Amino acid sequence: MEAFRHAPPTAEDMERMAQAVIDSLPEEFREPLRQVVVRIEEFATREQLDSVDIRSKWNLTGLYEGRPLDEQSIWDPGDLPPVISLFRQPLVREWRETGVDFADLVRHVVIHEAGHHFGFSDEEMHWLEESVDDELAP
């Protein structure tokens, strides 16, 4: 995105990017993701880092917290809605270090974390990301 050549995207920009990614998914994925909360935070908390055994707050760009769909039951009362968190500062750092388009970084992280919601393997997450790429191709 040309507008972000020098100034990093704001949290609001990232929210719009994340929603655009979700909106671009096939309907069978898009609809179940409506129950997932997307949050933009500057960094992961210590508890979030510990939950995935990461030490540095700079090394986590996104996180899914919740029970994957394939583990949910109508008999499980009181679960909080699942959350996908995107961590702005680590994403900005990765963007500056790699030169990868910021929207592409956000797309990759959102799809990866959404994949956890569906209980996908890494291979299935790559398939989902490729299917979105195919949809966006001219």
Residue 2 is predicted with a pLDDT of 45
Mean pLDDT of 94-108: 95
Q: For residue 121, name the pLDDT band (cuts at 50, 70, 90).
A: confident
If one looks up domain 7-69+81-136 in CATH, what number appears? 3.30.2010.20
Q: What is the pLDDT of residues 29-75, one digit of tens each?
A: 899 999 899 999 999 999 999 999 999 999 999 999 988 876 666 66
User: What are the tokens at 66?
Assistant: 């919740």
In angstroms, what is the C-alpha Rg of the chain?
A: 15
Q: Give φ, ψ of 131 to 5 degrees.
A: -65, -35
3-class secondary-structure state, position 104: helix
Give the chain's mean pLDDT: 87
Q: What type of residue is 70?
A: D
**pLDDT exceeds 70 at position 20:** yes
